[in-house]
Structure formats: C-alpha cells, structure tokens
Amino acid sequence: MAWRSTGVSNSELVENLVRNGMMKDPRVKAAFLKVDRAHYSPRSPYEDAPQSIGHSATISAPHMHATATENLIDYIVPTDARPAPRVLDIGSGSGYLTHLMAELVGDKGLVVGVEHIRELKELGEKNMAKGADGRALLDSGRVKFGVGDGRKGWVEPAREGEEGGGEGWDAIHVGASAKEVHEELLSQLKSPGRMFIPVDDDGAGWSQHVWNIDKDENGNISRKRLFGVRYVPLTDPPV
C-alpha cells in the first residue's frame, strides 16, 4: 500500500500515508504536516519513493520516515520523566527526518544529525534553512548537524537550559544499513531508550532488516526484527 500514498501536495501525501495505515499517531501526523518535503526532496517531493540526493545517498520514501518516527515517537516526545529528549539521527542525509524529529522534542529537546560526508551535512543545514520553522530550530540550538563516523555515535554536551542532557540519547535513528549493531551506539543509548536501525543479515548487504533495539531502565537490551529493507550501507566516507 505504501506506493499508493503519493500525493500532489504535502498535505495529500500525509493524508494518504494515514489512509494506508503507514501513519497512525496524531503527533507524527502533525509533524509531517508542518515540514514540507519539497524543501528536502530534489524532485517529485510528494512521491512515496526514495530519491537520490548525491554522494551515493538517498532520501528515503516518506512511508519509511513515517515508520521510523512511529517506532521512536514515545522516546522523542517530552514527558515528565523525560523533559528534554535527546535524539541522534545517523545518516541524516537531506535533513528531512532530522527536522521532523526536532518538531517533536519540545523546547528543551535536542536533535543531532550526523553525516560522514561534509557536503551532505551542509545539505541538511541548507535544506532546513529554506523555511522559517527550520531556521528557527537551527537558531535555537535544538537542531545541530555534525560530520563524523556514525558507527561510533556522537557525544554532544548538554546545551544551556537542557535538563538531564549530555548523557547519551533517548532515541537513535540509523538511516543506513549497518553490518552489526555497534557497541558504541548501544553504550550511548539511554536507559530507557530505543534505537531504530537497519542491519545486514549476511554482512554483505544482500539481506537487510530493520530492528528496534530497546534498553530498559535497568540497562537490559532486547531486540525485535521488524521488516526487510534495502538501505545504502553505513560505511567509511569516500576517500
């Protein structure tokens, strides 16, 4: 049903995602309505399909971004126990999902997008700055982009006014297929916390599945395989 979610406008795309069962949480819908995919997709922005953004990278199909956000939503939105959610977006690419999650973390939250190619890091920043809401988020410090090896995660000090920050990530989204669930990412996941990550089943990239990796309040790890995918690999940057 996913391919039938294509629309002629951002709002129609979102409504079709809801109608086809790809988006169920009203908080996710509100964020998708607020962020115009046309700022991030180089062509046919309301088509429910992945598109190249250069450097052997893609912007995922909207239904995949919806699925990722739905799976992470309870770890992204602020609560009494988690007033300042911290979210790491590895392989941030176009910056689209980074922006979507930034709309959900609240005034005290933080989202960091990490890319291993500087031009893609700069692309994400440039795309976010196309709209007033995106510029405001960047100016506020609620969104940051960095260049680094996503397999090693990212250490980000608490920003001013951030409560309980600087100690890992409540949610980690990985937008490229990893050969394994890297220990650095597990160690940076808070207790409780959740990681949404595609992983190679065979180490060669021919078979990939998305997993939810949960860490409970006692630090215990559980893993749930969700569905098969085809992602670009989480690898070294090009030489």
Q: CA separation (Å) from 194 to 29, 71, 75, 167, 237? A: 20, 9, 7, 15, 26
- What are the angstrom distances between the C-alpha of 59 and each of 39, 43, 177, 221, 239? 12, 11, 14, 30, 22
Q: Are 90 and 173 in contact (CB under 8 A)?
A: yes
Active site residue 44: no
Residue 55 Cα to chain centre, angstroms: 19
Question: Which two tokens mark 210?
Answer: 């998305």
Find the largest Cα–Cα distance for the chain: 47
Give residues with Cβ within 8 angstroms of 230, minimum separation 6. 208
Among residues 60, 92, 94, 177, the one annotated as catalytic is: 60
DSSP type of residue 178: B
Residue type, 118: R
CB 184 within 8 A of CB 152: yes
Catalytically active residues are 60
